[in-house]
Homo-oligomer: A and B are copies of this chain.
Amino acid sequence: MRKTGRPTSRDVAQAAGVSQSTVSIVLAGKWAGRISPGTAQSVRDAAVRLGYRPNLAARNLRLGRNRTVLLVVPTLTSMFFGGVHTGAARAAAAHGFGVVVYPWPEVTGLARSPFAAAHEAIDGILASSMAVDVLGELDPLPQVMLDSDPAGEAPTVNFDVAGGTRAVVGHLAALGHRRIGHVAASVDAWTFRARAGALAGAVRDLPAGVLTSGRTAIEIGAARTAAGRLLHRRDRPTALVCDDDLIAAGAYKAARELGLDVPADLSITGFDDMLLARAVEPELTTVRLPAEQLGAQGMAALLELLDGRRPGSVSLPVELVVRASTAPVASVNGQGVR
């Protein structure tokens, strides 16, 4: 009688009248040519009968690997990171790996690292959208950084946000916009720095281009305030480029407050293309960031790393999705801008 009611391979062996090692070989599917079919079948029957499931801890200990990867994200409450998780889990599952997700520092707090918990039974780390190298110092495990500064130590998988930003500016420029306002996310992350840099460059290259900008938390109320400030300027921008769809939703509210029609009086663009983009009215022109693909490719890179190979850093193309929030700039005499 064991403490736990859970049957072990030894129980199965006893029930099938064979040795424990035979059970192990049969259930691992490695019996062909080593165990007689009849014996194999009786082992399988016994396993089913007893409801046997192997003890993972024992297997992992024996094998020296866990077939599990830790995914670290800033927050769990976001469709974007949900997408990253989904893609990572799918890619992992295809290789028999599992993924455990850890928000950091949200739940653990900065003091405790995400590695203090039970999840330490991991083989590698996938970290998304982290400030540079916070993880590098914490853990020597193989790791891949997602949506992070490619200048770091670890291989990265990123979106081509610079390209996406240029596509936005190209689209706006074609509509006649020259005064662009950037409602930037006040988050210290590579992706936002890259967007700001690309935007500055693209507007600079625009004949008569003028860039103004303000920063905001990624939150509707704050975004409304920040966008409102930009819209109150004498040289009011005719288009607002927002670092996130949620910020764009705030910008919509600021526009409405000022009696500005979107897109007739003001064009607005976002970033992400989560469902928010289609929920608002008018539907939002935005840069689609394929989160699942980020997770999947990141996992693929990490799996390579675990395999002893050295994956290159990759940049995923993004797509500008044009909807109804952008339109040709209003005629010069349109709205009393000087």
Contact = CB atoms under 8 A, between A and B. Distances in A.
A1 interface: no
Interface stretch (A74-82, A150-158, A168-176, A301-309): A74-82
Contacts of A66: 56-57, 118
Contact of A121 (B57, B93, B246, B256): B57
Classify the secondary structure of A's interface with B. Answer: mixed
Interface string A92-118: 010011111111001110000001011
Contact of A60 (B54, B100, B121): B121
Given A279-B276, A281-B281, A89 B107 contact: yes
A151 B66 CA distance: 37
Contacts of A100: 98-101, 119
A276 B245 CA distance: 11
Oligomer: number of copies: 2
A82 to B, nearest CB: 4
B276 A276 contact: yes
Interface string A35-62: 0000000000000000101111110110
B56 A58 contact: no
Nearest to A250: B279
Contacts of A29: none
A86 to B, nearest CB: 5
B58 A120 contact: no
A53 B100 CA distance: 19
Size bracket of the A interface: 35 or more
Nearest to A245: B279
A54 to B, nearest CB: 8
B51 A55 contact: no
A252 interface: yes
A128 interface: no
Nearest to A60: B57
21 contacts: A3-B64, A53-B115, A56-B57, A57-B121, A58-B61, A68-B118, A76-B82, A77-B83, A78-B82, A79-B82, A85-B101, A90-B107, A93-B117, A98-B100, A98-B117, A98-B118, A100-B100, A100-B101, A220-B278, A220-B279, A256-B281
Interface of A: 3-4, 51, 53-58, 60-61, 64, 66-68, 75-79, 81-83, 85-86, 89-90, 93, 96-103, 106-108, 115, 117-121, 140, 220, 246, 249, 252-253, 256, 275-276, 278-281
Of all A-B residue pairs in the complex, the 5 with the closest CB atoms, nearest first, are: A98-B118, A57-B60, A56-B121, A249-B279, A77-B82
